[in-house]
Amino acid sequence: MKSLAIKTMSAAAGALMAAGPVMAQDDRIARGEAVVRTLNGGQAQPTLEGLRRDFPFLADAIAGYALGEVWARPGLDHRTRQIAAVAAFAALGLKPFFKVHAGYALNHGVTPDELKEVVYLTTVPAGFPRAIEAAQALNEVLEERSKAMAAHPYVGMWVTADGNIRHELLASGRYVEARGTREKAYQGRYTIKGNHIDYVDDTGFTADGDFVDGVLHHGGMVLYRRK
């Protein structure tokens, strides 16, 4: 009887030890997938999903380690980490990875001008050819984004009923707000997720708003689309 109990306990312990790494790996993968959705504006990453179809073991390794372990660490915020990644991939000459992470950086508030400074910095550790490659890749990212944003239904001019506030959302991801005779009273960058818009002004303050039935509600104001 005692021997049976010992064998049963040993079998149970072995099962737990075997299950532990699997459960831990599943947790890392789930954490990694959450990270990439955060970086990619709530969407799955197309390259990773392509790997998941053809090389699922490689996709799991990327999600579990690169994303779930390294990218998920708390020491840096997403914005800072993406600047570092962009610099590294620019110096290494890895254009596809550079473009992906430049996109993530833009999603998290890094400006095009800041990315251009990173590209220029590449000339010191990696030389001008790598910097030129990175510059060309960044131009592609910005052009692709500009074309996509130009077709966005919320890009354009929004005005109050009296015309005093004129709020333009540019295809570049920038906004310019005129108030009365002040043509550039406020300007900065914006991001849109669904019907919600977030602003970061060049002076540092933040604001947000919502599009409801074709009307922009922002900062206590009601703005209408100018056709």
Whether residue 109 has pLDDT greater than 90: no
Band of the pLDDT at 174, cuts 50, 70, 90?
confident
Tally of domains in the chain: 3
Band of the pLDDT at 79, cuts 50, 70, 90?
very high
* Of the residues 109, 126, 151, the one at which a domain ends: 151
Is 16 inside any structural domain?
A: no
Hey, what's the torsion of the CAs at 207, 210, 216, 218, to 10 degrees? Answer: -30
Whether residue 21 has pLDDT greater than 60: no
Band of the pLDDT at 179, cuts 50, 70, 90?
very high
| Host domain of residue 58 | 22-37+44-70
- How far is the CA of 159 from the CAs of 127, 164, 192, 215, in angstroms? 47, 7, 18, 10
Q: What mean pLDDT do residues 44-67 have?
A: 92
Whether residue 14 has pLDDT greater than 60: no
Instruction: State both tokens at 198.
Output: 């977030």
**Which secondary structure element, helix H or strand E, spans residue 45, and what is its range?**
none
The reply to whether 144 and 181 lie within a common domain is no
